[in-house]
Structure 1
Amino acid sequence: MANIETVTLAGGCFWCIESAFNSVNGVVSAYSGYANGHLDNPTYEQVCAGNTGHAEVVQVNFDPAQISFREVLEIFFALHNPTELNRQGNDVGTQYRSGIYYHNEQQKEIAQQLLTEISDEQIWPDPLVTELLAVSNYSQAEDYHQDYFSNNPENRYCNMVVAPKLAKFKKKFASRLKG
């Protein structure tokens, strides 16, 4: 069995992030969930109400022999705007914040180095607001959120927001996609 690593990432609505990572070579699985809040096992409705402190996240399990942690983060930064505080596009609230929730000290160091590089290179015109914290209080989202984009192609939000983001992502990272 491969040495699988896990990282938990927040980049706005989890449907897009999860769908993108599940198509990446070296990613074993990606699950929508909630993390870094104060309520145990919150529901989607509780998280969306904005008072649990949780972020919508995707827990990414990957094989570091096939994709490095840094590459996972590079994909993550291409999937959202890390300069928008507590929002992504029309999705507004602390649950849509940008965050890297690391699972070990090595991940913390690599993430901090990349955040510094991105800031120094001024890739975005505004400063990064991505928080870097240890993962805490993670719970997997309800079953109907898993593979949401694939299972709900007729959903208006998916057609208007997720599909264009994924098309752009797949073009940029074509060489990283699963067969």
Structure 2
Amino acid sequence: MQRAFRQTGEWHIPRYDEAARTIARLAASGLEPIITRFIPDPAENGSWSSYYDRWHSMRLDPDDPIWDIELPGIEATGSVDLPTFSKWGQELAERIPVGEEIILTGVATDCCILATALGAADAGRYVTVVGDACAGQSDAAHDQALSLLELLSPMINVVNSDTVPR
């Protein structure tokens, strides 16, 4: 939930604000968020260089304010920052034991949510994706990503925010 996806531009997510409101409501109900951020690696190793050739306007310094969290109602401190689509890695693995659940919300459903869900499931965590607390590059891309994730039940479950246990 970063400025890069909220503001107008190449990575704009049209339903960002809708997802942000749902995430804020979930956080207000007692769920404690772990904030994650996509932060580019200036080295652009391997295929990342070609990726940024396509998205040249996003070839920005990791400290650029475009990477700041924009999630009204939630204070973003101590984020997990990675230069990859998936935010699953050592830091989240240490916080969420094998066999436990991670609840995913955010953007983009068809990129970071999809990649993180797959990584966490591969690592033996149960994944719950809150569909209405996510948004994609388009409604079609969002729906397609959720449909793919639903195929992996019971490792990955897709739910609506009103069914998330608090």
**Which structure has more strand as a fraction of its residues?**
1
Report the TM-score, using the length of structure 2 for normalisation: 0.32
Report the TM-score, using the length of structure 1 for normalisation: 0.30
